[in-house]
Structure 1
Amino acid sequence: MPSRARVASLFVALSFTACGGAGGSSREPSMAGGDTAASRGRAGADIPPAGPPVRVDCGDFSTCAIAEGGSVRCWGRDKKGELGDGGGPDRSNNAAVPGLGRATALALGSEFGCALQDDKKIRCWGTGRIANDGKVHQRARATEVSGVDGALDIVASGLIACARTTSGVTCWGGEPKTIGTPPSGAFSQIATGFTHACGLDDKGGISCWGTGDWAPRGSFSKPPITGAKYVATGDRHACVITRDNKVACWGQNDAGQLGVRADTEGHKKPVEVPGIDGIVKLVAGESATCAIDGNGTVRCWGGNSEGELGLGKRSSDERPTKLSSVAQVADVCLATTHGCALTKDAKIVCWGGNADGQLGDGSKDRKLEPSNVRW
């Protein structure tokens, strides 16, 4: 199966040819890890001072976090403008994204990022159909998303982003036929994969939309689930927190991402993940899954070829294993080759692939165990 990076680059290249071009701006100089005038850019006066981190999200090869004051700070790959500064060299130290107000939620895709601001508007940056305006943007700075009013939350992964609003769900980022149409009705929570999304309804049922097996009549789009409390989806699998705070997953399991021995079946019915209980938060990466329990303990399973599970080794697949080197975790994110955790004492640690500086520790060395982010 082609890597996310190759698929995303090909998709954007083809879309750009079809559309005939789109916006973006030239890159201003930036200083990694500091709020100099250069790094603040045009909207420097609007960037709140950086406090301790309160949210973190992983893009394919970049990472961003929201600081207590509402500013967004990013690090990692910047070839496609993923760091919000118009594109440039990769950064292994964080710097603020210019042109944003106070952010309350954050979501990263393959080559773009988005922030929900306290005025309920969403601004996105990077490369792709990031603004819901019919254009393919190249290395764009923060740009307001069209047609999304009253946003309550935002999620993104791969090519697409979706916002839950007071009137329903709006998705953008790929061709309309790639995104599909969200089912009618209200969702209390949504999650996105590379080219699909899933929503949790008020009865704890799940509906998915997008392409292939995740299309409305696809094999994985309507699993026999009720009473679910939370949903997360990777590229080819999805998981829920069940009514009794356990985890059940369905979809492909070639890397053990369902929490059981890897196989080549397509699991239409959810499989309960063994040894997992008391779960309060769940995330899914490309082919991996992590869960946080009520004590702040993280357990991860699935693909680990780049050390993206943080277990101190690389392997083709892993059964649920405790991330023993990190405790009291408040939030966690997974992407293609890396993961990050935010602890309850406001520290960020990251692990896995680091060729683009996405671990934020000042290096580009792979880390098989969590490494402290320079904040």
Structure 2
Amino acid sequence: MATSKIVSNTRVVRASYANKARVTTAQFRVEANQEIDLSTVKEGEVILRNLYLSLDPYVRFTLDETGGDMPSSFRQLNDPFYGLGVAEVVASGYEKYPVGTLVSGNTGYEKFTRLSGLNDPNTQSDIRVLPAHARDESKGVPLSNYISALGMPGLTAYAGLKVLGIESKKTIFVGSAAGGVGQLVGQLAKVQGLRVIGSAGSDEKVLHLIEKQRFDGAFNYKTEDAREALTRLAPEGIDYYYDTVGGEILDLVLQIINEKGKILSVGMVSQENGKESYPIRNLNVIARKGVSILGFIYWHHLQYFANGELDDVVRPLLERKEITYREEVFEGIENAPTHFVNMLDGKYAGKVIIKIADL
């Protein structure tokens, strides 16, 4: 008979919907002292000890009762939130993920997560086994990077630039350039020989982009007129726009983008968290200038995880300090609600991560 091995779990559950209103900590409830018996793992299951959790804007959509692309299973009240995490397998009923394996994927906003049905061929698992060198932080690449520069944000930046088909000596404008994706987009584009400009929400973020992350120019969209700033920083015009913002800035870029320019639509953070949709007025430019607008969803490009390309290309750049990645790491799963709300309100610079436990 298996010996019981009880661990105490703390989890963050969905307490109420925000729908079209601004998200507050009232939408979250922290539940402590929830027991999990590691000896009860079944065939096709694993239990994860979560180490790092990524706080991402897309989770906002799970706080709408209906609508959007999130399945209903991700919207249930009194269930834990799910987010991208780095974890260690501590109990396994599936030989593909033995005990001790480091993985990343959708974990819970909790200390321990049980994942079931992994041996069902009809179940698509997003679990990614991390390379052995992920444990080695001696070269300046922390394990947390596997949910940032070497995780979903990194994949979004790397694959997005491939979809855009960027060419050297041209100009790319990166919206929300100090965020988890934007900071890497700009630096990877710079490595490939482009002129890179970006927008951010504070003077400190702008300075960091220019002095630490090699942007050719950046501006504070809260204090400077965007048209004047883009005209000043991109005197020869914009060839590519990596758009995570949408709204008015997208409308402006459509006006001033160069002929045959390309726009990658990754997100529209300007219209999230209860903000009203902005009607785009300059869509006629698409035909008049031959502009392309390309949609992007990161899970269409998971091959760069599977074949190791993202790790092979980006990790050496991090190790050699040719690019830097800014993370804001906070301790304690119980503090996730406060930091999630602050993240949506734009109070942080870089990728927002919760450290749950040491490896």
TM-score of the aligned structures, taking structure 1 as reference length: 0.29
* Structure ranking higher in helix proportion: 2
TM-score of the aligned structures, taking structure 2 as reference length: 0.30
Larger Rg computed on CA atoms: 2
* Structure ranking higher in strand proportion: 1
